[in-house]
Amino acid sequence: EVQLVESGGGLVQPGGSLRLSCAASGFTFSRYGMSWVRQAPGKGLEWVSGINSGGSSTSYGDSVKGRFTISRDNAKNTLYLQMNSLKPEDTAVYSCAKAYGGSWSVETNGMDYWGKGTLVNVSS
């Protein structure tokens, strides 16, 4: 059974940092692209970042470019999202998602499994 479990969310002040983790199990993690997506209160799903299966290629949404860094440790079956210079508009539930193939997907129809998410609240 595929499982994706996020952790690392919490309350942080504007300008602060957090590192999210996504522990994967039930599939060969190193073969699949992964993404982070988020959903702010009352808003739709937003793709945040993606990484290919080997970790050599990454991409970011315009709203987080230059502030967030995606990475993965295939030996530990874990995906990460380092978030710096956080803003109140970054407040959302962050989820990791598995792609069908070796590259990431920007669209939800290219993702076949999601975690339940972890809440990030950026507030003073």
In this prediction, residue 105 carries a pLDDT of: 86
CA dihedral (82, 34, 47, 57) in degrees, to 10, reads 70
Could you read off the pLDDT of 41-94 as tens digits, one per residue? 999 999 999 999 999 999 999 999 999 999 999 999 999 999 999 999 999 999
Report strand pairing: 118-122 vs 10-12: parallel
Q: pLDDT band for 109, please (50, 70, 90 cuts).
A: confident
**107 pLDDT more than 90:** no
DSSP state of 53: T
